[in-house]
Structures are given as C-alpha cells and as structure tokens.
Amino acid sequence: MPPSAGISIGYLAERTGLAVSAIRYYEAQGLVEPWRNAGGQRRFHRADIRRMSFIMIAQQFGFSLPEIRGFLKDLPGGRTPTKEDWARISEGFRTHLDQRIETLVKLRDNLDGCIGCGCLSLPNCKLYNPEDRAAQKGQGPRYLMGDRPETAAAAENGH
C-alpha cells in the first residue's frame, strides 16, 4: 500500500471498527468523498479515519447524519485537514453539544420539581410544553403531565 495511493475501504473499516457497508452508506449520505482507483475501487485519505471517528462520536451524542454532515462541511475536501481545521469544526460541534447537554440537565431539574416531589398536580409544571424545542422529536406542541394552557384545563372538572 504505497503512501500516495490512499487506503482501501476494508482497511478504513478495520481501523475504525465500522462495517464496510456503513462506510459506503456514509458516502451515499455525503459524509465522505473517496475517489476511485483504476479498477473502480474506493480509495480514502488516511485522514478519513479521523473523519469516520468524528462521525461515530457525534452519533454517540445523538446527532443525525445530516447534522454531522453540517459539522463536517467546513473540513477541506482537497487537502488533509490541519489541526486548525479540526479545532475549528470541533468548536462548532462543541457548541451544539453543550446545548444538548444543557437541555437534558434542564429537563432533569424540571423533572425533580414535578414527578420527583410526588406532588404530580403540577399547576406550575415546567415540563409542560417545554420552551426548548430542540429536545422534541417532531411536529407540534406536546402537552405534558396532563396540563394544557389555561382554557383547556377548564374542560375538566377539578381533578
């Protein structure tokens, strides 16, 4: 394996612990861009080992592949990324990551005030329709712990 020839998908898989099929899938998702050798086989930069690792780490934090693609898009495609390149995208990543952790901690603390205390009546439940939408999966507002904004609660005779 001459140094200038790039590394094979199998070697990349071995070095990262990823399945070969997963790497091909990541390519399809635009997370990595190998070139092809004369025989049509994929060749990767050595730096892609680190790129794959970054993807795996970000996934552990719960980021989706499109989000991760967003983090990585600032990495140079043409040349090997430098320390500074990585430091720059890590910083962006770190910001999102702090947000995610903060959301979870906030949610936990609210939980302490709601379920944790055992009161459960919760006219002042902070978990109800939480402001931080980042933690929510999907679409519209979700009313938690059985409470709804003002009027709606009146529909029910005092519980």
Partner DNA sequence: TCTTGAGCTCAAGTTAGGTTTAGAAATTAC
Partner DNA sequence: GTAATTTCTAAACCTAACTTGAGCTCAAGA
Which parts of this chain interact with a copy of itself (CB under 8 A)?
Answer: 15-18, 46, 49-50, 53-54, 56-57, 59-62, 83-84, 86-87, 90-91, 93-94, 97-98, 100-101, 104-105, 107-108, 111-112, 115-120, 127, 135-137, 140-146, 148, 159
DSSP assignment of the chain equals --GGG-B-HHHHHHHH---HHHHHHHHHTTS---EE-TTS-EEB-THHHHHHHHHHHHHHTT--HHHHHHHHTTS-SSSPPPHHHHHHHHHHHHHHHHHHHHHHHHHHHHHIIIIITS----TT-SSSS-S-GGG--SSS---GGG--STHHHHTS---
From 9, 7, 34, select the one nearest 20 (Cα to Cα). 9
Q: Of DNA, a copy of itself, none, which one sits near residue 84, judging by CB under 5 to 8 A according to partner kind? A: a copy of itself
Binding of residue 42 to DNA (CB under 7 A): yes
Of the residues 17, 25, 33, 117, which one makes contact with DNA according to CB under 7 A: 25
Q: Of DNA, a copy of itself, none, which one sits near residue 127, judging by CB under 5 to 8 A according to partner kind? A: a copy of itself
Q: Of the ranges 20-28, 84-92, 99-107, 113-121, which one interacts with DNA (CB under 7 A)?
A: 20-28
Binding of residue 136 to DNA (CB under 7 A): no
Of the residues 17, 30, 33, 41, which one makes contact with DNA according to CB under 7 A: 41
